[in-house]
Chains A and B, each alone.
Chain A
Amino acid sequence: MATDRTGTPAARDLSRPHHLPNLRPGKEPPDKSWLPRQRKGTTPQMIGRYPDFDVLDSAGTWDEATSQVVMARLHLAGQFAFFAADEQATLRAFCDVTMAQDGEPRVPVAEMIDAKLATGKMDGYQYADMPDDRDTWHLVLAGLDEVAGSRYGRPGFAACDPQAREAIVGSLADAQLAGGSWEQVNVKRAWSVCMRMVLAAFYAHPWAWNEIGFGGPAYPRGYMRLGPLSTLEPFETRGATSEDPVRVAAELGE
């Protein structure tokens, strides 16, 4: 069994890939109960693999410009400038489903996307068979509401239960939506346009860095431990799980 840097046994070394969706029946990830609760700092939904790591602890070592950009993301909740009031619930629900954010604390993905679209600083390209990214967002949100109505008889996507929302997003991911607003976009590309922004927002947030154990900005400090003896900086911590090692051993047939 592995030990952490203080020499106490880790609950489990994460050397096995048993939790990865591609290696599991139906590509279903395990229930989040195998993850430890965050003990230090914040992660989305307070789960993660590095319960004692808070990237913000090292914020004092970041350069001023980087610090300003990253810290500003911590104070975004509740502000909308681009999306209309009747779009916001759908947007929030879409961002929740695509990033599996089923509770607080949430990375404010919807607000971050709104802020980007409001500045008009797009990503530098538009598919010839697609409208402007800003119009794509309006159409996708309208289309999600339409499917919620036609398929589930609900007034909007946000009013659907979690299973229905996941099913609708699954259809979007598989480009299996048609009719209404979906006729005005290439559905496959619409998924990629929207997800590009969702992912860029979520993984720009330091709470998400805590969840995945990313060491974060490193100027002027730099990184020192490149391996092979160690890939851990003094301020980084090893990954952990909250599983019972005896039960895991039994499950794996050991």
Chain B
Amino acid sequence: MIRKLLKGAVGPKDNDSRFLLDVHRRDLPGEDTMCRYDDSDEVDICIVGAGAGGSVLAQRLARAGWRVVIIEAGPFWHPDEDWVSDEAGSHDLYWTQKRIIGGADPIEMGKNNSGRGVGGSMVHYAGYCPRFHPSDFRTRTVDGVGADWPIDYEQVRPHYQNVERELPVAGQDWPWGFPHTYPFSPHPVSEAASVLWRGAIAQGIKMRVGPVGIVNGTFGNRPHCIYRGFCLQGCKVHAKASPYVTHLPDALAHQVEIRAACMAARVEIDEAGRAAGVTYIREGEHAERMQRARFVAVAGYSIETPRLLLNSTSQRFPAGLCNNEDQVGRYAMVQGATQSAGRFGAELRMYKAPPPEVSSEDFYETDPSRGFARGFSIQTVSPQPIGWAEHVLADGHWGRGLREYMRDYNHWTTVGVLNELLPHPDNRVTLAEETDPYGLPVARFDYTLGDNDKANMAYSAVVIKDLLHAAGAQDILTIQRFAHLVGGARMGTSPDNSVIDASQRAWAVPNLFVADGSVCPTQGSANPALTIMALASRLAERMISGAAMSGADR
């Protein structure tokens, strides 16, 4: 009751990011006065990657007095100049360096799932921030598929709560999984999303507004959302949450250095088998530099984290760091993300309001009558013109037919699913023969769907099609696609089934941690951002207390 009365008024403790932002400029405050550490100065921790995982870890540790350097491959953004209210113009937000994609079902990368730069992929994620369900942590036990995590939901729950306050997350009271409330009230729902919601009601599917990491009201110096719909192009308003606004301002105020435009080449190992620091190359230079550190945390996400480990070869680890058991890069996952668009008589103009609006987790858990294990979620989405054109092309239209559908853009609205696709050891990140401009081998990601995955995707495609019919859609176009990344350096119970332990500490190197989405053994049908942040928050708490290094959970 009290929490309801206080909606929007309760801020997070121990994170002043919202007050540190400048009202008149969008730059990350503190870049000019940022602490700078010398390469030879052994800092407490060197973190690779300034995204969802690395930023939260850095902010927490810095608050506890740790001296932190973040090595980030991409640019230090200046949003007023660098980010634009334009689809094609946002190309630089994505990891556009080459990756090779293979397997029977190759996964498109780039704008689809990979960010680059200070703030990471959350700079261009849509904003959906659902939690995982308790069942996600034990799918092997409950459903006989996937893997059990070495930790359970209860260990992450307090961190979900903290991070939801920090973003902050706006949404209705959440009835699914572990029922919970959100710190901010739900956003108004656009007509484009309402049409879909009416279809869901007709089908008996329960939907709820949110949960989105978008300010509804004001939050410190962060303004209210202006409903311009460019969430996926980087929020110039700073209403949408990303580490750039939620954790890095506070991190810089606590002596964190973000060393942007620096590509990590290797994690160095000393004679005792401990991580000694990170070797990196500054953009525009050829000489390697090495930042010394007491601890190293890799947070480059599911492609770059395995790639960095595999590129870090040594006498002790000839096949790549932590890879003597051949586990690095395995069990990398994506979610099925089929989208169907429906045509309606009225002009809906789906480009207004945030693309993420209303979602359902009615189909999240296993229902044996469906004929497959685990499930999917349903979420409204709103492609802009280029995304919509790809949607139309996928239905087989080009030339005059495509132009006809495109001219009809304002009459369409789009609903998507996120299928939980199961982890498989052969869905794996390895190194390709090709090298990048720094001479580092690029990553290759092979991906092949299993039978359960295909059954899940086929079933969910029918559900959203029926939803559109029930809403009164006059025509339906469908695109089959994939979204998100997790896994690739997963946590587990022993070195022969994982890369890291329950404390996210590498089995093979005592002072090396992994702090991004690649640690997840399963993925549920939830967008991964919130969970990546919550896991990094948990890791930080345990590193500060020393529990993560104690080996008590081995």
Contacts and interface: CB of A to CB of B under 8 A. Distances in A.
Contact of B102 (A127, A208, A224, A231): A127
Contacts of B38: none
A72 B155 CA distance: 52
B96 A124 contact: yes
A249 B111 CA distance: 45
A99 B402 contact: yes
A124 B99 contact: yes
A200 B386 CA distance: 5
Contacts of B384: 214
Interface in A189-227: 195-196, 199-204, 208-209, 211-215, 217-227
A161 interface: no
Contact of B85 (A22, A30, A100, A217): A217
Contacts of A201: 88
Q: Which of B345, B395, B404 has the most CB of A within 10 A?
A: B404
Contacts of B409: 212-214
Given A169-B399, A200-B386, A221 B228 contact: yes
A223 B352 contact: yes
Q: A interface, by DSSP: helix, strand, loop or mixed?
A: loop
B230 A219 contact: yes
B470 interface: no
Contacts of B397: 21
Interface in A38-82: 48-49, 62-63, 65-66, 69-70
A53 to B, nearest CB: 11
A65 B110 contact: no
A118 interface: no
Given A208-B385, A231-B352, A66 B406 contact: no
B101 interface: yes
Nearest to A236: B349
Given A20-B343, A128-B444, A227-B190, A121 B386 contact: no
Given A70-B89, A127-B102, A195-B398, A218 B226 contact: yes
B85 A128 contact: no
Interface in B299-351: 343, 345-349, 351
Interface in B112-155: 114
Given A98-B398, A221-B228, A238-B347, A65 B83 contact: yes
A99 B399 contact: yes
B86 A20 contact: no
Interface in B184-224: 188-192, 194
Given A15-B345, A219-B226, A231-B347, A23 B475 contact: yes
Contacts of B386: 199-200, 203-204
B85 A19 contact: no
Contacts of A28: 401
A232 interface: yes
Interface string B391-405: 001011111111111
Interface string B336-371: 000000010111110111000000000000000000
Interface string B229-244: 1100000110000000
B554 interface: no
A16 to B, nearest CB: 7
B65 interface: no
B309 to A, nearest CB: 20
Given A222-B227, A226-B352, A128 B106 contact: yes
Contact of B96 (A16, A21, A121, A217): A121
Given A99-B402, A128-B444, A20 B408 contact: yes
Nearest to B350: A231
Interface string A128-139: 110010000000
Q: Which of B228, B346, B353 has the most CB of A within 10 A?
A: B228
B475 A220 contact: no
B111 A123 contact: yes
A114 to B, nearest CB: 15
Contacts of B477: 22
Interface of B: 80-89, 91-92, 94-102, 106, 108-111, 114, 188-192, 194, 226-230, 236-237, 343, 345-349, 351-353, 384-386, 388-390, 393, 395-411, 444, 446, 474-475, 477
The 8 closest A-B pairs by CB, nearest first: A227-B191, A222-B226, A124-B110, A15-B345, A128-B102, A218-B228, A204-B88, A217-B85
Interface of A: 13-17, 19-23, 27-30, 32, 35, 48-49, 62-63, 65-66, 69-70, 97-100, 121-129, 132, 166, 169, 173, 195-196, 199-204, 208-209, 211-215, 217-228, 231-232, 236, 238-239
